A = this chain, B = another copy of it.
Amino acid sequence: MNQKLGKASMKPEQPVYILNSASVVGTKEGQGPLGLLFDKVGEEDMFGCETWEDAESTLQKEAVGLAMDKAGLQPNDISFLFAGDLLGQSIATSFGLSTYQIPLLGVYGACSTCGESMILGTMSIAGGFADKVICVTSSHFASAEKEFRFPLEYGNQRPLSATWTVTGSGAFVLSGETGQAKQGKGKPRARITGMTVGKIVDYGLKDSMNMGACMAPAAASTLEEHFTDFASQPGDYDKIITGDLGKVGQRVLIDLLRDKGYDISEQHMDCGIEIYDGDSQDTHAGGSGCGCSAVTLSAYILKQLEENNWKKVLFMPTGALLSKTSFNEGKSVPGIAHALVIEAI
């Protein structure tokens, strides 16, 4: 039996498999420490399009196409898409995925969207409602700056607590069966064995140039709930991986959890810290955006699980639930974080 666990968690009776996945990124990500691991690095960040928004749509389209190719699947093989992005009314998704004509369930969780889409996808498969689904999300540095901050032409200075939105999209093919991957080792990349859904956590912070600090309380809340629901400890995971807290948020998260009686300093890893070389790439606190955790999961984390360097990780993308309207109206920046237990095959 599938089950609800504790207050916020779920456990599928059978694991749901990540059959295959794909990552498509921009030039800066290609030049970063994980650059050689991504499936595709764009030659330029417009990806042949005329607007930043179309460029982001292209990222999603290519990531989904590539993920299907790598799994040897066609659009007809996919029951549902679970997809979303950071832009107002999720237009990167709406204009990126229509070409596939796959039934679509749109998701919004800010930069936690990768986790949320995989939780819903897992639920649909483990619940018997779908055969295979694809979960996809994206972000683009330039479309995000336009959406949330300043025109790029303005050339504003960025404080050291700011993060740099990742240009990239990650897509994941989930299935209840192990399937037969076309490329790679002919076995799924990993399996999803548990999930914890986050709630909105708002400490009243208002600094959109320090989103790591805004999101860290939500990450701490979901982690504490996860450890309680699964009766687990930090040491049960090889890595506890947040999406895009960056260097400031990481410190806040570790401190907050210490207050709750958990020491995650050994296990913690943040996709935003891994994806850039902050010193040489001028990215300050780290990377951020829906794409940050998605491409890092596909290119780096799943590879570590495949190679058995890690056996079991907790993957927890973090989202900052602001808009330019809420920011301009002086509201705080609430956070949310959703977690998945992902294990090696």
Q: Which residues of A contact B (CB under 8 A)?
A: 1-4, 7-8, 10, 51, 53-54, 79-80, 84, 86-91, 94-95, 97-98, 101-110, 116, 119-120, 123-124, 126-131, 146-147, 197-202, 321-326, 329, 331, 334, 336
Contacts and interface: CB of A to CB of B under 8 A. Distances in A.
Given A107-B108, A325-B53, A127 B2 contact: yes
A88 B2 contact: no
A112 to B, nearest CB: 9
Given A88-B89, A90-B108, A97-B200, A3 B128 contact: yes
6 contacts: A53-B326, A86-B89, A87-B325, A89-B321, A107-B107, A147-B325
B323 A87 contact: yes
Given A88-B89, A120-B120, A131-B4, A104 B197 contact: yes
A119 B91 contact: no
A144 B127 CA distance: 36
A197 B95 CA distance: 18
A336 B89 contact: no
Contacts of A108: 84, 89-90, 106-108
B8 A89 contact: no
A21 to B, nearest CB: 22
A79 B4 contact: yes
